[in-house]
Amino acid sequence: MTISRRVFVKAGGLTLVSLGMDPLFLARAAFAARRPGGPSAHSILVCLFQRGAVDGLNMIVPHGEPAYYQERPRIAVPAADVVDLDGHFGLHPSLAPLKELWDNKSLAAIHAIGSPDGTRSHFDAQDYMESGTPGVKSTGDGWMNRYCQHDREHEDTPFRAVAFGPQLPRILAGSAPSLAIDDLQAFGLRVPQEAARDRLTRAFEELYDGAGTGLLASSSREGFEAVQMLKRADPSQYRPAAGVEYPQGRLGKTLLQIAQLIKADVGLEIAFADCSGWDTHVNQGSSEGQLSARLRELGLALAAFNHDLGERMRNVVVLTMSEFGRTIRENGNSGTDHGHATAMLALGGPVNGGRVLGRWPGLSVEQRFEGRDVAVTTDFRDLFGEILARHLGATDLGTVFPGYTPSPAQFLGAIRA
Amino acid sequence: MPLSLIATLCLLTSQAPGPIPTPRDSAFHALNRLAYGARPGEADSVARFGVMRWIERQLDADHVDDSHVAEREREFKILDYNRADLAGRYRDATRERQRLQREAAATGDSTRMRDARPMQEFRELGGELQQLAIVRAALSERQLREVMVDFWTNHFNVFVGKGADRFLLPSYIEETIRPRALGRFEDLVIATAESPAMLFYLDNAQSVAPGSVPPQQRRSLFSLRRRFGMNEMPEQRRQRRPTGINENYARELLELHTLGVDGGYTQQDIIEVARIFTGWSIEPPERGSGFVFRDWAHDRGEKHVFGLTFKDDGKDEGIRLLKSLASEHATMHHVSAKLCARFVADDPPDGCIDAAVAAWQKTGGDIRAVLRAIFTSPDFWSAQAVRSKVKTPFEFVVSAVRATGVEPDDTPRLAQLVARLGEPLYQQPAPTGYAETEAHWVNSGALLARMNAAMGIAKDCSSIPANADHTQLVDMIDQQLLAGTMSAHTKSVILEQLTDVTDPVQARALAVGLALGGPDFQKQ
């Protein structure tokens, strides 16, 4: 690329932009050209963190397990309501919109997954799942950021790793550039009028252009590129694919924006979003109720996302995660307390779907963790590591998960070979 | 050697490639590092007073009059509560929440619980603490002490969002950290070790000798989790009684607070240290939630660590260990290097670290002596150090407020701004605290957020008169905000932007916003 940013700025920007020749456009074209198979051929990972510890047993219901019904007289999902998957497990009825993904083999469930650390504190367990170092509190950065530090193939785009929310979450904290975007439409300088906003943006761009080299200069450049790329993508004009409707609420809005970024071909590789409301200590409900409402929103949002992206889902993996599961036995308040293992969902074209993965430990007392919770048979790092290696092509998992090297022998086969 | 002479020598010997810095440049540098930036005219007044003399006054904080801040502090009701008050209110709020939960379980209606939000008061408390920190940092005349309070609060980090720390944090800051910020390191380590906030945050309150049993089951330590509320239900609590040592505090004490990650200790050392601290716990809220040493929970066996032997000496074992750790060479080096990263450069040269360690050794860890050694080391004044560090979000917001003459109000506005820029105070969950280095704070989204923040703060700028002459306006901004260090490039870009702005007030807002949000003001 020979047109430098300085030339762009000095030439007054607008002329070049009107010709479709701004350097950002060129940068994007260069980005796309590096990848065989067109602009969207690179792999994308979307992670949703179910903060609060989702009840894996009522999300992916072991309806073939009598102990499940014995321990949960008030909150078990009746077998008749469960959307059966394989005769033993089934989806909570609120997740029925995902059944077609199971049928076309692009949805897998992973059961009895969790942390080797036994903590039942949300704070500690979320911290461990995001730092990727269970039991070690002093790890400064998150595992997603460490992946970005070591596999720098995509570093020419500011949109490589994006967290949706006001702040960068722990999982993306670290030295590799990553963006926190609260709202795509409001990303950039907050000036109501477009002309004034553009002008101020150019002014700051020029100020930082004189900052020479260093992190301030390169980061500001990335920021302005992001703003320009978004402007071209024009988030306010985005319409999902025909017939697709995202559910009301934060999650639907977030997944819509992620779909939008993916379609804009701005180089997104990792998207991360929070999805809260899973700490169901009281009145959790069974087929209907509190948890059911949360799962319905999740199921509808994921199904809408899948339809919205359509053909592009062949390069996308969506993964749900949660810090731990909940007690096998319901508590005195028709809810569940903090437990150990939980379930996660993986969906998308690269997923080896139509299967419940992971070794099922069983629910009888002697099979439980500390006599009360679902035992962990899959270390979450084995699943995250497999997705990083086989889907995103990570080459050095040892640095992503220090003190632990997920080995292919431990992989569950969540991603198609 | 008189200090003024040292300063002159330092300035003369600094390897500045350009012109020798003026007293005003030196004053601006000192204000950027020992203070939260210069207020309008302050670089000049400090230069007139004498930079080294000013530094000495800052080190002698108790003799600096600070009545304006004292007056502002009265607005904060949080300073009227002691820990026992807060403990009582927290216990009441926890009970109310439990009552509402039971009610919701019985009626199947959880809307009341959502509406009542019994814990709301404690969420607001955290916000008030943040605002108080900003008011003090912006307005205190004892700037260095405020900088050191921030440094130690971060070094001995406690996360306000973890259970009982919601109400333990105020006394942690007021009683544990603030009085010792310029005292002796050993006293700080001991005070934080004994602080209920740290004991809860790093789980030592639950660390008991294996097999130990409380004398009265009814009022046992084991119900600590219930009293302090860990979002766990009764059934679970009964099953989750502490039955052994918890290594969390021991590990972070060695790795973060004292020796440093390369301090040469082993996992066995961590276990021995954890055994020494068994029994260091917290009173229940109804008794004020203060520190308590529980003899029955203490491991009476022999422990060997760092060449010392501890046996059946109760709480004194821990005190002896902390004193020993505070004077270990690895500790002196670790903490001195961290201080130099704060005051000199992200990757500080050995010279200033060695000077700090030497002062530490000589004075037994007198923090003021260590700081004085750093401020008089040539590295502190070198051309490589001046304006080489990027401000953290907190430093950026507070320095902008100071430079523009904005009086922090009693709204959460500024605290929220700091949070939006990525550094919500007291909300770092990891015991590492927030990072000091540029790499952690500079990224594209964060810079855009700083530009937006700058435009917002510029609107309230009162330190610069509106001026129809744009050249004069930009010169004024350069002097007031940057003590004359604004780059020629920045000046020309701002002037260019002002060409068609006719309204002087609008011109001032735009020019100040660009100056605050531009690259020059990000540096200190």
Q: Distance (Å, rounded) from C-alpha A28 to C-alpha A131? A: 31
- Provide φ and ψ at A402, rounded to 5°: -60, 140
State pLDDT tens for residues B376-396.
999 999 999 999 999 999 999
Residue of A nearest to B443 (CA): A219
B432 CB neighbours in chain A (<8 A) are 138, 140
The mean pLDDT of B297-311, rounded to a whole number, is 96
Residues of A in contact with B94 (CB under 8 A): none
Residue that finishes a domain, picked among B357, B381, B405: B381
- Listed residue (B58, B56, B44, B41) closest to B4, CA to CA: B56
| Residue B319 and residue B254 share a domain | yes
* Confidence band for A302, pLDDT divided at 50, 70 and 90: very high
Query: A368, A328 in Cβ contact below 8 A?
Result: yes
User: Mean pLDDT over residues A172-192, rounded?
Assistant: 85
| Phi and psi, residue A108, nearest 5° | -125, 150
pLDDT band at A177 (very low <50, low <70, confident <90, very high): confident
Query: CB of B524 within 8 A of CB of B32?
Result: yes
Q: Can you give B64-83 as a three-state secondary structure string?
A: CCCHHHHHHHCCCHHHHCCH
Q: Give me the residues paired with residue A44 across strands.
A: A316
Of the residues B224, B423, B448, B516, the best mutation for testing chain A's interface (the one with the most A CB atoms within 10 Å of its CB) is B448
- Block residue for tokens 């009145």: A283
* Residue of A181, A198, A201, A261 whose CA lies nearest to A229: A261
Per-residue pLDDT band for A230 (boundaries 50, 70, 90) equals: confident
**Is the domain of B404 the same as that of B357?**
no
Between these two residues, B422 and B506, which has the higher pLDDT value?
Answer: B506
Contact B437, B167 (CB under 8 A): no
- How much is the average pLDDT of A387-409? 92
pLDDT tens digits, one per residue of B405-460: 999 987 899 999 998 888 999 998 778 899 898 877 887 788 899 999 999 999 99
Name the amino acid, one letter, at A117. D
- The residues facing A356 across adjacent strands are A109
Q: Are residues B368 and B436 in the same domain?
A: no
Q: How many CA atoms within 13 Å lie on the side-chain side of A206?
A: 24
CA angle B420, A44, A319 (to 5 degrees): 80
Question: Which residues in chain A (21-60) have CB-CB distances under 8 A to chain B?
Answer: none
Give the integer Cα–Cα distance in Å for A148 and A130: 14
Using an 8 Å CB-CB cutoff, list chain A residues near B101. 281-282, 333
What is the bridge-based pairing of β-strands A378-379 and A161-164?
unpaired
Domain A44-183+244-410 class, CATH top level: alpha beta
Q: Is B235 a residue whose pLDDT tops 60?
A: no
Q: Are residues B296 and B206 in the same domain?
A: yes
Distances (CA, A) of B177 to B39, B128, B192: 26, 18, 8
Contact A207 B240 (CB under 8 A): no
Q: Is pLDDT of B240 > 80?
A: no
- Helix segments in A151-245, DSSP class H: 194-209, 215-233
Give chain B's domain count.
Answer: 3
Q: From chain A, pick out residues whose CB is under 8 angstroms from the CB of B113.
A: 282
Query: How many angstroms separate the CA of residue B509 from the nearest CA in chain A?
Result: 12
Q: How confident is the model at residue A71 (pLDDT cuts 50, 70, 90)?
A: very high
> Average per-residue pLDDT in chain B?
89
Cβ B343 vs Cβ B375: under 8 Å: yes
Mean pLDDT of B357-364: 98
Between B67 and B244, name the one with better pLDDT. B67
- Judge whether B19 lies within some domain: yes
> Which distant-in-sequence residues (6+ apart) come within 8 Å of A133 by Cβ?
A139, A401, A402, A403, A404
Residue B115 lies in a domain: no
Domain-embedded: residue B517: yes
Residue A52's contacts (CB-CB under 8 Å, 6 or more residues apart) are A122, A276, A277, A278, A279, A280, A322
Residues of A within 8 A of B422 (CB-CB) are 167-168, 180
Q: Are residues B408 and B506 in the same domain?
A: yes
User: Between chains, do B435 and A180 touch, taking CB under 8 Å as contact?
Assistant: no
* Residues in contact with A46: Cβ distance below 8 Å, sequence separation at least 6, in sequence order: A255, A258, A270, A271, A272, A273, A305, A316, A317, A318, A319
AA identity, residue B110: S
Distance of CA B481 to the CA centre of its chain: 25
pLDDT above 50 for B232: no
For residue range A326-359, list pLDDT tens digits in order: 999 998 888 898 899 999 999 999 999 999 999 9
A205, A360, B514 from B518: Cα distances, Å:
9, 57, 6
Q: In angstroms, what separates the C-alpha of A79 from chain B's closest C-alpha?
A: 23
pLDDT band at A8 (very low <50, low <70, confident <90, very high): very low
From chain B, pick out residues whose CB is under 8 angstroms from the CB of A122.
231
Same domain, B398 and B513: yes
Residue B429 lies in a domain: yes
Question: Which of A366-375, B226-235, B252-261 is least confident?
Answer: B226-235
Q: Say yes or no: B235 and B352 in one domain.
A: no
Report how far residue B165's alpha carbon sits from residue B431's, in angstroms, rounded to the nearest whole number: 13
Report which DSSP code applies to A7: H
Cα distances (angstroms) measured from residue B418 to each of A168, B77, B431, B456: 14, 22, 20, 13
**Chain A from 155 to 174: CB within 8 A of any B CB:** 158, 166-168, 170, 173-174
**Boundaries of domain holding B401:** 393-522
Measure the CA–CA gap between A66 and B327, rounded to whole angstroms. Answer: 61
**Co-location of B372 and B408 in the same domain:** no
User: Tell me, what's the ipTM?
Assistant: 0.87
Question: B459 and B436 in one domain?
Answer: yes
Q: Answer yes or no: is pLDDT of B473 > 90.
A: yes
B13 and B53 inside one domain: yes
What's the pLDDT at B114? Answer: 66
Mutate to test the interface with A, among B417, B444, B486, B516 (most CBs of A within 10 A): B444
* CA A54/CA A326 separation, integer angstroms: 7
pLDDT of residue A228: 86
Domain residue extents for chain A: 1-34, 44-183+244-410
